[in-house]
Structure 1
Amino acid sequence: MDAPTVTAARLTGAAHRERLPLLVLGPSLGTSAATLWTGCARAGLTEVFDVLAWDLPGHGYNHSVPEQPFTVADLAAGVLRVVEDVLEQRGELGGHFAYAGDSVGGAVGLQLLLDHPDRLTAAVLLCTGAQIGEPAMWEGRVGQVSVSGTAVMVAGSAERWFAPGFLERSPETGSALLHALAEADDRGYALVCQALAGFDVRQRLAEVTAPVLAVAGVHDVATPPAKLQEIAGGVRDGRYVELADTAHLAPAEQPERVAALIREHVLGEQPAPPTDAVDDGGDDGRYAAGMVVRREVLGDAHVDRATAATNDFTADFQRFITEYAWGGVWTRPGLDRRSRSMITLTALVARGHHEELAMHVRAAITNGLTVAEIREVLLQSAIYCGVPDANSAFRVAQQVLTDLGVDTTDLAPTGGTR
């Protein structure tokens, strides 16, 4: 079959990122790029890499779910297709990149190393294996999810994913990861399980020529340390590291340590020990998370323009809105993005902020609202915000949707004018 659609987010800001080596990050089953890798990215990766993190079909913000089953090799082909797009943007079509992946993301990394040995400069494979689980186990999980949905996996995953005490120490991180699992598309999750059921490259490890760092969590029962030792010992240039107080999601459980290991393995450097930080007026983790969401909702082109236009006068404000609006509110798990878009449209109609309204009509389409739903939001606003405000809003929305090539013939009963 054709490679399944894979979506990806750039975690590094626009400024000078093309000058940095490209690092591609792969997820674990049931997680998303943002929930698994953002903490690790801000812990030392985005300052030295152009970071690209990808989502599995039906996971995170990848809403595409193929009709037919796919293999891990198919997934690897889908990842390479996205990477090629980014390399082309960087003026490096056909170029090289480094890779780090957890669980199924690590399996995809192994497949890339086998299928495209000339493309990867180095790989860090975390909490994974050349073969993961048994086919019967995956078939049983597919059956569970088919009957009860991915929410049925949350309780068991809370036990498998995290080392003892992690959920008490980091409840927000754990909650975000488990929420992403519950929100994963049932069929997308099941298809990835089926791909893993057929994945076994143990007899091919000696074909891997790029340097590989295999990282295990001492408490990982899904892919125990022996799985990573097998990889490190089987490839031609392998090294093994075992992390204490870590189970299956090392990038989220040990973000600083994993970031340091990636830098050391890929760049050949040992990051400087932490020094007393200078207060820059914000939280870097919240800023990094906000930048991910801002790009996913508004698009790279918009954010790149805003970032490129930043100067000494506006820099603090750009950081403020990224950190507090996008990183503080839009990342909260209590509402989905469709709901946040509807609320935002209503507020902008009420205040008459037409430039922002135009931007968020585009964002609403990205977040999955239909033309009919946007129309209903504006009609509702006419009652509670005022007919003149809604009339102007219809006109703004009509123009934006027309520019996007969206059919607007049924947008407003009045055509947006009085």
Structure 2
Amino acid sequence: MIPAITAVRMTGAAHRADLPLLVLGPSLGTSASTLWTACAAGLTEVFDVLAWDLPGHGHNKAVPEEQFTMAELARGVLAVVDDVCEQRGKAGSTFLYAGDSVGGAVGLQLLLDVPDRVGGAVLLCTGAKIGDPAMWAGRIGQVSVSGTPVMVAGSAERWFAPGFLDRHPDVGSALLGALQDTDDTGYTQVCQVVSDFDVRDRLSEITAPVLAVAGAHDVATPPALLEEIADGVRDGRLVVLPDVAHLAPAEAPSEVAALLRQHLLGEPLPAERGERYDAGLAVRREVLGDAHVDRATANATDFTRDFQELITEYAWGEIWTRPGLDRRSRSLITLTALVARGHHEELAMHVRAALRNGLTVDELKELFLQTAIYCGVPDANTAFRIAQGVLAEEGLA
């Protein structure tokens, strides 16, 4: 039985038919939106991005009455791709593919079943065989009795590298929420699909170029499974991401986007970073926060990426790392300079940074009073207004 698949278009309608079609597959228990949206921000300018949801997952509320196989699931995905190809005016054309976990397994199935249609693939955190039947039977039994919420605690441990949930609670919450909202039957049907899947003896049939991406902390599909794929296909390559577990597109969105662009389009990867860049990135995260840095990185385009790298390496890696002043002093200087030059668009960000660097509310008040005399009352007035908003957001006003 071929299951119904729901498509999620991630590229705006303007000119997307002129871009190569990239199909993105999800992991078990996730949705296309929660898993791929951050990564897709670095892809939609160069690809027509089409993601899809598994039965009972995300936007796909259709759950088949009968069990289906991996081959049938892949045919359901292909049916959606064929519809989109017709909409693009390119019926039957080739497409590019990337998928995580079961989404990667679907990619392997497509590479085997329709080799003339898949021009290249990136398979992440997956395997030619994943787990063993006893493990899957146990999981099916748990969800059949208690529903998908019973999987949340275990998935929180398996899905993410150490410290990720502390650094990115919103991302983790969205993904675990999607798991909890997944239809019980849809989840167990996909479990059975993965349990029955085994194409290890067919990898040599795959001729399209394949990039296998592993997470160094992935216990569900450890790097050895991705190495098996890279070695088994005719044109394969392995990359292991050091701070990633099982959901690479959500854990390392910018890195995964760069890998996809490099493998599927031939774009060069960002240059290898030196010690100054690494030190700058570490300080930038400590001062501005992971959320701000991740957002800036994810939103970088070909036009702005070099600038992001420049400020990370030189502003943060060359200046903020110097031993001559502590970070409290550097925050005081930076805030004064921003007020003096009227750079109010960055003032709120550096007020938060100053609080993170140990400045008190009273010290901020004294700083802005000082700027009223030496920079001007109107500029200080604006600074007080912006800082007041930040303090209110932080529960300090």
TM-score in terms of structure 1 length: 0.65
Deviation string, structure 1 residues 302-345 (Cα, Å, up to 9, x no partner): xxxxxxxxxxxxxxxxxxxxxxxxxxxxxxxxxxxxxxxxxxxx
Deviation string, structure 1 residues 270-325 (Cα, Å, up to 9, x no partner): 25679xxxxxxx98979xxxxxxxxxxxxxxxxxxxxxxxxxxxxxxxxxxxxxxx
* CA displacement at 1:149 relative to structure 2: 0.2
For 1:216 and 1:285, locate their aligned partners in 2 and report how far apart those are by CA, in whole Å: 20
For 1:11 and 1:269, locate their aligned partners in 2 and report how far apart those are by CA, in whole Å: 21
For 1:140 and 1:88, locate their aligned partners in 2 and report how far apart those are by CA, in whole Å: 42
For 1:113 and 1:22, locate their aligned partners in 2 and report how far apart those are by CA, in whole Å: 16
For 1:106 and 1:15, locate their aligned partners in 2 and report how far apart those are by CA, in whole Å: 29
* CA displacement at 1:254 relative to structure 2: 0.3
Corresponding residue number in structure 1 for 2:108: 110
- Contact 2:254 2:298 (8 Å CA) reproduced: no
Amino acid at match of 1:67: E
* CA displacement at 1:31 relative to structure 2: 0.1
Amino acid at match of 1:234: G
Structure 1 portions without partners, runs of 5+: 275-281, 287-418
- Contact 1:161 1:249 (8 Å CA) reproduced: yes
Match of 1:59 among 57, 60, 84: 57
Corresponding residue number in structure 2 for 1:213: 211
Structure 2 portions without partners, runs of 5+: 274-294, 300-397
Corresponding residue number in structure 2 for 1:325: none
Corresponding residue number in structure 1 for 2:85: 87
- Contact 2:253 2:298 (8 Å CA) reproduced: no
Deviation string, structure 1 residues 339-376 (Cα, Å, up to 9, x no partner): xxxxxxxxxxxxxxxxxxxxxxxxxxxxxxxxxxxxxx
SS at match of 2:198: coil
Corresponding residue number in structure 2 for 1:377: none
Match of 2:153 among 149, 152, 155: 155
For 1:30 and 1:164, locate their aligned partners in 2 and report how far apart those are by CA, in whole Å: 20
- Contact 1:130 1:231 (8 Å CA) reproduced: yes
Corresponding residue number in structure 1 for 2:23: 24
Deviation string, structure 1 residues 98-146 (Cα, Å, up to 9, x no partner): 0000000000000000000000010000000000000111111000000
Counterparts in 2 of 1:283 and 1:247: CA distance versus 1, 3 Å:
closer
Match of 1:203 among 201, 204, 213: 201
Corresponding residue number in structure 2 for 1:407: none
Runs of 4+ in 1 over 6 A off after TM superposition: 282-286
Counterparts in 2 of 1:237 and 1:248: CA distance versus 1, 3 Å:
same
Backbone CA RMSD of aligned residues: 1.7
- Contact 1:24 1:99 (8 Å CA) reproduced: yes
SS at match of 1:45: coil
Corresponding residue number in structure 2 for 1:187: 185
Corresponding residue number in structure 2 for 1:101: 99
Counterparts in 2 of 1:218 and 1:272: CA distance versus 1, 3 Å:
closer
SS at match of 2:134: helix
Deviation string, structure 1 residues 64-97 (Cα, Å, up to 9, x no partner): 0001001111110000000000000001110000
SS at match of 2:138: helix
SS at match of 1:121: strand
Amino acid at match of 2:110: L
- Contact 1:38 1:285 (8 Å CA) reproduced: no
Amino acid at match of 1:28: S
Counterparts in 2 of 1:283 and 1:220: CA distance versus 1, 3 Å:
closer
For 1:173 and 1:34, locate their aligned partners in 2 and report how far apart those are by CA, in whole Å: 11
- Contact 1:215 1:228 (8 Å CA) reproduced: yes
Q: Mark the structure with the bigger radius of gyration.
A: 2
Corresponding residue number in structure 2 for 1:15: 14
For 2:18 and 2:235, locate their aligned partners in 1 and report how far apart those are by CA, in whole Å: 27
SS at match of 2:22: strand
Corresponding residue number in structure 1 for 2:260: 262
Aligned pairs for 1:123-134 (under 5 A) are 123-134=121-132
Corresponding residue number in structure 1 for 2:33: 34
* CA displacement at 1:174 relative to structure 2: 0.4
Identify the range of structure 1 (264-273 vs 103-112) with the bigger mean alpha-carbon deviation.
264-273
* CA displacement at 1:159 relative to structure 2: 0.1
SS at match of 1:159: helix
How many residues align? The count is 278
1:238 and 2:273 matched: no
Amino acid at match of 2:184: D
Amino acid at match of 1:31: T
Identity between Structure 1 and Structure 2 (%): 72
For 2:85 and 2:121, locate their aligned partners in 1 and report how far apart those are by CA, in whole Å: 18
For 1:55 and 1:80, locate their aligned partners in 2 and report how far apart those are by CA, in whole Å: 13
* CA displacement at 1:256 relative to structure 2: 0.3
For 2:244 and 2:101, locate their aligned partners in 1 and report how far apart those are by CA, in whole Å: 14
Amino acid at match of 2:40: A
For 2:84 and 2:50, locate their aligned partners in 1 and report how far apart those are by CA, in whole Å: 9
Aligned pairs for 1:255-404 (under 5 A) are 255-270=253-268
Corresponding residue number in structure 1 for 2:68: 70
* CA displacement at 1:14 relative to structure 2: 0.8
Amino acid at match of 1:78: G
